[in-house]
Amino acid sequence: MTHLVYPGALHTRFHHALGAMHLMSLAINLLKSKGHTITDGEEEAAILAILLHDIGHGPFSHALEHSLVTGIRHEDISAKLMQDLNTHFDGRLTHAIEIFNGTYPKKFLHQLISGQLDLDRMDYLNRDSFFTGVSEGVISFDRIIKMFNVYDDNLVIEEKGIYSIEKFLIARRLMYWQVYLHKTVISGEMILVKLLERAKELAAAGENLFASPSLNYFLKNDINEANFFEQHENLEHFTNLDDQDIYAAVKVWTKHDDKILSTLCKMLTARNLYKVEMGNERADTDRVNFLQDAAINLLGIKPEEARYFVFTDSIQNRAYHAGLGNIKILMKNNDIVDIAKASDLSNLESLQKTVEKYILCYPRGI
């Protein structure tokens, strides 16, 4: 939904997968040039693992997980799809899967895919900066990769790279607030969640809705964490879904008889999004009630329908999660030091604080 704010941001997960693959090649060549052994098989496995790391994401990942396919973790779907591919390719992805899961002995290969400084983030921060034009996210991925090293099977950063890492962590934080958690982006996602919720309710009530066969499948059936992997059909329909199924349906639903569904769909297609207030405290109940009453009047809906249009939620972000595999610095004297100690600023401590913000959504025109 980022394109609602930054129209250039139409790049896809396909671009990202190719970019991350490219960074993996650079990183592996660099580590080999520093004398670390990485076999051709390990190189292929690491490249496959990062190529496939996001394969379990559906369209509008976050929104769907909260409406059509409740509670299913994309990591589990990625793992399942990799297993299927591994069967198809006679076990050729075994090492790739071990690297992806973090069970392969050379831990640094996993850390390049998923860790504080992984190539996944390095690609998406720069790519998103480029396509949104938000220069705050530009990072020196080439310089950071040149500072990579391996110590005791773990990925470490050479001392000279400290400032680039600091910049990387800060860039990530800034991109969260300026792009990924931008109010308008959240507003678009929230409308999508609400309209899919509504569509599913209507389908459950026997209503006929225009939908591609795979979208229809998830509207009609109650697929969730518990039963998703029980039937292969679920996975097939899931991988078949993409943005176009959703958008094509939303466009048709703008003319649906159900007022709630058609109103939400028109809000999204006409870019007449919720107004979003974001703050450090949860919105006051009186204010929410007041806004719901106003929405009831404005839209001519029933009280129990107000929750589609006026509601609260919360979002959070933490740039650097020290518990989850700290960034280790390789000092010139060969000591290994946590970056929080190696840096001369307390920035990094503050980056560990989880920042939580509360949001309040309601229709424009109230």
Name 356's bridge partners.
Answer: 316
CB of 98 to a second copy, least distance (A): 29
Q: How many CB atoms lie within 10 A of CB 229?
A: 13
Interface with a second copy (CB under 8 A), residue from 177, 180, 290, 358: 177
Tell me which residues in 221-280 interact with a second copy (CB under 8 A): 240, 242-245, 247-248, 251-252, 280
End-to-end CA distance of the chain: 24
The single residue listed with the structure tokens 């896809």 is 12
Residue 173 or residue 200: which is nearer to a second copy going by CB?
173
Phi, psi values for residue 82, rounded to 5°: -65, -40
Q: Angle at CA 18, nearest 5°, toward 14 and 22? A: 165
Residue 137 or residue 308: which is nearer to a second copy going by CB?
137
Contacts with a second copy: how many residues (CB under 8 A)? 47
Tell me which residues in 315-354 interact with a second copy (CB under 8 A): 344-347, 349-351, 353
Interface with a second copy (CB under 8 A), residue from 10, 204, 226, 324: 10
Residue 289 or residue 350: which is nearer to a second copy going by CB?
350
Tokens of 148: 């990579």
Which helix (H) or strand (E) segment is 292 a member of? Answer: helix 285-299
Residue 14 binds to a second copy (criterion: CB under 8 A): yes
Residue 33 binds to a second copy (criterion: CB under 8 A): no
Residue 76 binds to a second copy (criterion: CB under 8 A): no
Residue 11 or residue 298: which is nearer to a second copy going by CB?
11
**CA torsion angle for 10, 16, 17, 20 (degrees, to 10)?**
170
Contact string 98-117 vs a second copy (x = CB under 8 A): --------------------
Q: Are 305 and 235 in contact (CB under 8 A)?
A: no
CB of 352 to a second copy, least distance (A): 10
Task: Collapse the DSSP code of 226 into the 3-class scheme (helix H, G, I; strand E, B; otherwise coil) and give the result.
Answer: coil
Q: Are 172 and 180 in contact (CB under 8 A)?
A: no
Q: How far apart are alpha carbons 142 and 140 in whole angstroms?
A: 5
Residue 49 or residue 319: which is nearer to a second copy going by CB?
319
Residue 154 or residue 212: which is nearer to a second copy going by CB?
212
CB of 240 to a second copy, least distance (A): 7
Residue 30 binds to a second copy (criterion: CB under 8 A): no
Interface with a second copy (CB under 8 A), residue from 7, 300, 303, 365: 7
Question: Taken in order 123, 128, 313, 204, is the CA torsion positive or negative?
Answer: negative
Q: Are 338 and 327 in contact (CB under 8 A)?
A: yes
Residue 22 binds to a second copy (criterion: CB under 8 A): no
- Residue 212: CA atoms inside 13 Å, Cβ hemisphere, count? 16
Question: Under the rule (CB under 8 A), what is the footprint of a second copy?
Answer: 7-8, 10-12, 14-15, 18, 134-136, 138-140, 143, 163-164, 166-167, 170-171, 173-174, 177-178, 210, 212-213, 240, 242-245, 247-248, 251-252, 280, 344-347, 349-351, 353, 355
